[in-house]
Amino acid sequence: MTEKESINCWIISSGLIGCENQCIGLAEELNFNYEIKKINPGKILSITAPYGTPRKVKNFVKPWPKYIIGAGRKTIPYMKYLKSKLRDDVFTIFLQNPKIKTSNFDFVWAPLHDEIKGANTFSTLLSPGRVSQDLITKELDKWSNKFSVLPEPFLTILIGGKTKAFSFDKKECFSILETISRSIKEGWTPLISTSRRTPQFLKEEIRNIIKNSPHYFYDNYGDNPYYAFLGVSNIAIVTPDSVNMISEAITANQSTYIFDLECRSKRINKFLIQLEKGNFVKKINGKINEFHFEKSNATKEIADHLAKLI
């Protein structure tokens, strides 16, 4: 593969961390020397994306990149703008379902459950992300002092929050709390990470449950030990609202359990069913134990495929 110093890549980011991390993960796997270009679309473009054309963007200046990676619909007008300007001098890579013709890009990755077809497309069951041995080792070194005072075994618990597909109602929150409480009684030290979408009620109740037991609780303040969690533990329990979180847990070789929450999305339900059929995840049913599954790394699969094209 080309040496990192000889490659110039822009990652177009609208500020969505999940999308940005997908792009960063792929850029790092491809050994690209990347720069993140933040965009700030106005109200009209935010509504009309993936359609529409951006006005001149101040931070889009020479030297132009050889590669552009973007994810999320708001990045699409900017990617199309750059492609129309640079034409064959740039290779555009879009991650996720663009909701427009894939021919607008040089390459499109989309998850299998989106069923995107096209000569320039590639699909995997899991999503790309930043999980790598180098990153996890680095994060473990950074957080080792925090974890060294906690008793093993560790259990990573990743909690998202309300989306169009998931309600996180009180009944479901109590089910999550019951699982956390039971894991503590079974001797696990919970390493819990919540998101900005996590209901405040759920965060407060988690604090009440864990306050008298060894634990680590990240609630969106300060540095995030997310990748260190995935390195120090062997088992993770994940809420199903985030395809990225589930994918990264599996990529980090965690025996991954899914909280049983009602899903109103056929797409995500299809993803979850495919994961269960492939024995990549299990629903929580009784005791939590490690289980065998075939290792999978979508980021590497996508990078290996792209390496043949670029």
Q: For the stretch 129-160, what's the b/e string if a residue is b when 16 or more beta carbons lie within 10 angstroms of its beta carbon?
A: bbbbeebbeebbeebeeebeeeeeebbbbbbb
For 200, the 3-state DSSP assignment is helix
pLDDT recorded at residue 5:
57
pLDDT recorded at residue 7:
62
pLDDT recorded at residue 6:
61
- How does residue 1 score in pLDDT terms, banded at 50, 70 and 90? very low
Contacts of residue 74, defined as CB under 8 A and 6 or more positions apart, other chains included, come to 14, 39, 41, 45, 46, 49
For 193, the 3-state DSSP assignment is strand
Count of residues in the chain: 310
- 206 CB neighbour count, 10 Å cutoff: 24
**Contact assessment for residue 303 and residue 28, using Cβ atoms and an 8 Å cutoff:** no
Q: What is the pLDDT of residues 117-176, one digit of tens each?
A: 999 999 999 999 999 999 999 999 999 999 999 999 999 999 999 999 999 999 999 999
Rounded mean pLDDT, 179-206: 97
Q: What is the pLDDT of residues 44-84, one digit of tens each?
A: 999 999 999 998 898 999 999 999 999 999 999 999 999 99
Q: Do domains 4-124 and 133-283 have the same CATH topology?
A: yes
List the structure tokens of 223. Answer: 């540095």
**Strands of 173-229, DSSP E:** 189-193, 216-218
pLDDT over threshold 50, residue 234:
yes
Q: What is the pLDDT of residues 27-50, one digit of tens each?
A: 999 999 999 999 999 999 999 999
Alpha-carbon span 177 to 171, nearest angstrom: 10
Domain 133-283 has CATH 3.40.50: yes
Q: What is the pLDDT of residues 295-305, one digit of tens each?
A: 999 999 999 99
Domain ranges of the chain: 4-124, 133-283
pTM here? 0.93
Task: Check residue 269 and report its DSSP letter.
Answer: H
Alpha-carbon span 237 to 188, nearest angstrom: 12
**Contact assessment for residue 290 and residue 235, using Cβ atoms and an 8 Å cutoff:** yes
Alpha-carbon span 182 to 44, nearest angstrom: 49
pLDDT over threshold 80, residue 4:
no
Alpha-carbon span 157 to 191, nearest angstrom: 6
**Contact assessment for residue 59 and residue 78, using Cβ atoms and an 8 Å cutoff:** no
Contacts of residue 23, defined as CB under 8 A and 6 or more positions apart, other chains included, come to 11, 12, 13, 69, 70, 71, 95
* Tokens 């070789």, located at residue: 253
Query: Distance from CA of residue 110 to its chain's centroid?
Result: 13
* Tokens 């129309």, located at residue: 84
Lowest mean pLDDT among 3-12, 34-43, 238-247: 3-12
pLDDT over threshold 50, residue 278:
yes
Rounded mean pLDDT, 271-290: 93
Alpha-carbon span 60 to 44, nearest angstrom: 20
pLDDT recorded at residue 56:
81
Strands 235-238 and 255-258: parallel
**Which CATH code of 2.30.30, 3.40.210, 3.40.50, 1.10.150 fits the domain covering 4-124?**
3.40.50
Residues of the chain with pLDDT > 90, as a percent, come to: 94
For 273, the 3-state DSSP assignment is helix
